[in-house]
Chain A
Amino acid sequence: MSAPMVAPLTTGTGVNGVALTVLIVLFVVVTVLGFMATRFKRGEHLDSLDEWGLGGRKFGTWITWFLLGGDLYTAYTFIAVPAAMFATGAVAGFFAVPYTIVLYPIVFVFMARLWSVSHRHGYVTSADFVQGRYGDRGLSLAVAVTGFLATMPYIALQLIGIQAVLEVTGLGGSGNWLAKDAPLLIAFVLLAAYTYTSGLRAPAVIAFVKDALIYLVIIVAIIYLPHKFGGWDHIFGAAQDKMAATNPVTGKPAGAFIPGAGQMWAYATLGLGSALALFMYPHSITASLSSRSRNTIRRNAAILPAYSFVLGLLALLGWVAIAAGTKPIGLDGKPNPQLVIPQLFEDSFPSWFAGVAFAAVAIGALVPAAIMSIAAANTFTRNIYKEWLKPDATDAQEAKVSKLMSLVVKAFALLFVFTLDKQNAINFQLLGGIWILQTFPAIVFSLYTRWFHKWALLAGWAAGMVYGTIAAYRVINPATGKHFGGSLAEIPGIGDLGYIALTAFVLNVLVAVVLTLVLAAAKVGNGTDQTESRDYFAEEGDPRVRHDLAVHRGPAGGAVEV
């Protein structure tokens, strides 16, 4: 990164007491809310995965809006997108805006179908659906394991978001092991405890607080800061100068002010690839399936872009920080662009408001971390534990395993952050994005057709995974010389740089199409389909679902065919 080495200005000078107090008070408030959430829209059968892991599938339009918004726009987004804008400019940072815009028309198209078929058959995860569609444990396991693996580093990144905030308040960066990691540990133990007791209801309730704080902070920041630092003209001028300056390490411009020739493909493929991938993550699907009706999902596709607008403003704050001369220096004395937003707030606002901003980011990390750990736990329980280890597990056993697994997942994430280099978490997250997109054909194509052969989908998935992993490994960071230097590689046949995930996805689909033709010609059977056409249009209160529930006394049975 090109941030110059300068003596720390405000970081490292001790703890910001006022900001820290505000942060702790708000943190205590959400912790209490998290534990009280167990009574929020309580259902009759508490010991089932539907209740713990999907909040009883009864969240309406606005709760779903808060929950999905809190889920998709994570602390890492709030930290990393402005950091990317600050360090390398618009291609690496601002692509998040077209990404989160084109996301919703795409989600509109397929998520209602997934909701309906899941409602009809009691599916909790996307791998449940794949299993029901093809009756094939291999393909379902591939989808489940990919989702599980891709979620773990994502949770770790939420911790890194909290760490960034704690570091700027002066906590947790230095001293002995206990003083360094204790604040994060306490935050996470509390998170684990209320997720365990309240399930998906906890993040649903906390999401209200999170969003109120985020909107408050962003609106104040975006009105006040440009004025304070010389207006937008000056801010964009400063950003343009910084991006045009030559990076002494690479000999190339430091970054992109506006995508130039040769960067169009990168910008477009990053946006499209990320949009296709996001709703393949278990946590996105969990939040979607917890909504009450298929129309809740579609209405949300129309109102969720409100968050995209906020994300765009946040991205621009990365450039406000350039004009403000923010020096994001970690407590170890090294420049760390990830600290740029917390540092900008600490430098520009009174301590108490900086505390509110820090709380917004920290609580913004807890909501997605809770949903991600629930989603990963659901995936493990349904598609690994019940499918492979204990097929006769009861609803209560499923819920119990899921609750325990949510603790295990979080413990792993914590270990990840404490023992590995942070860069590793970011590398794995990069790989996670590439991997998760490879489950798209098996999930989304299968919502519309059974033309694809299950083994062809599995082979396509494997091809995309291998290609994507190798291509990402071969990207060398020019400054550090390390592997996994970024998510862009040359697109074969086009020559420009493009998002590796999307290239791997195209390869995935090609392999799936070719092998489907081969297997169809060889007349290889394609498994049994548990679903029928009209299941994909089932609505809340579907009489067939009600009929099945009456027979089964509980919504969590896997296959509810009578």
Chain B
Amino acid sequence: MSTPTSDGRRDSDRVVTMPPTNRGLLVAAGVCLLIPLVALLWVSSYSKATPRLGGIPFFFWYQFVWVFLTSALTYTAHRLVLAARRRGDGTRDPSGWDDGPDESPTARPGSDDTLDPTPGFRS
């Protein structure tokens, strides 16, 4: 791995360091991400015609179902990773640990993003 080359002088250094990590939650997120790969790459588990659903053979509708399952599992993994990396002191936004309160709040790139009206999605 790389060797940190911090010169220790920049005042910014105290804000961004390696994030804290909860290994258990990261492993859980990894499992969430691994499940779809195993399910879909194990082709013989689903390459059959029955049971049909509304005339559609099992092989096809089963894979359509996995679109939704994978989406849910990936989102779960996202939340788990955020939780795993959350700072213990509770002073920072769990999504970002971006600006500390001592930083200037001006000129956040893209903070005028009116086409992204999903505050709940951002946490």
Contacts and interface: CB of A to CB of B under 8 A. Distances in A.
26 contacts: A56-B109, A61-B118, A94-B63, A97-B63, A98-B40, A101-B66, A101-B67, A105-B74, A106-B37, A232-B54, A236-B57, A258-B49, A268-B40, A272-B41, A292-B109, A292-B113, A295-B95, A295-B122, A301-B78, A302-B75, A312-B63, A529-B3, A532-B5, A539-B98, A543-B16, A546-B103
B48 interface: yes
Interface stretch (A15-23, A259-267, A390-398, A406-414): A259-267
Interface stretch (A27-35, A245-253, A303-311, A333-341): A303-311
B8 interface: no
Interface of B: 1-6, 10, 12-13, 15-19, 32-34, 36-37, 40-44, 47-49, 52, 54-57, 59-60, 63-64, 66-68, 70-75, 77-78, 81-82, 85, 95-100, 103, 108-110, 112-113, 115-118, 121-122
**8 closest Cβ pairs, A-B complex:** A60-B116, A232-B55, A58-B110, A233-B55, A543-B12, A302-B75, A105-B33, A98-B40
Interface in A240-290: 257-260, 264, 267-268, 271-272
Given A301-B78, A302-B71, A308-B67, A258 B109 contact: no
Given A234-B55, A541-B96, 19 more contacts: A57-B109, A63-B115, A97-B67, A105-B77, A108-B74, A259-B59, A264-B44, A298-B74, A302-B72, A302-B74, A303-B71, A308-B67, A312-B60, A312-B63, A532-B4, A534-B16, A537-B18, A537-B85, A562-B10
Given A109-B33, A258-B47, A543-B15, A450 B109 contact: no
Contact of B47 (A63, A260, A538): A260
A59 B111 CA distance: 10
A101 B70 CA distance: 7
Nearest to A65: B116
A268 B43 contact: yes
A101 B40 contact: yes
Contacts of A235: 55
Given A101-B40, A267-B43, A236 B121 contact: no
Contacts of B54: 232
A540 B73 contact: no
A532 B67 contact: no
B16 A542 contact: yes
A268 B41 contact: yes
Contact of B36 (A101, A257, A260, A267): A101
Contacts of B115: 60, 62-63
B113 A236 contact: no
The contact size tier of chain A is 35 or more
Nearest to A295: B95
A37 interface: no
A539 B96 contact: yes
Contacts, number: 194
Contacts of A298: 74, 78, 81
Given A41-B113, A236-B57, A271-B40, A259 B47 contact: yes
Contacts of A87: none
A295 B100 CA distance: 18
Interface string A533-551: 1100111111110110000
Contact of A258 (B33, B57, B110): B57
A110 B40 CA distance: 20
A540 B103 contact: no
Interface string A219-242: 000000000000111111000000
A293 interface: yes
A354 interface: no
Contact of A102 (B36, B47, B60): B36
A108 B109 contact: no
A309 B68 CA distance: 9
A298 B85 CA distance: 14
B3 to A, nearest CB: 7
A108 B78 contact: yes
Contacts of A264: 43-44, 47
A60 B110 CA distance: 7
Contacts of B122: 61, 295
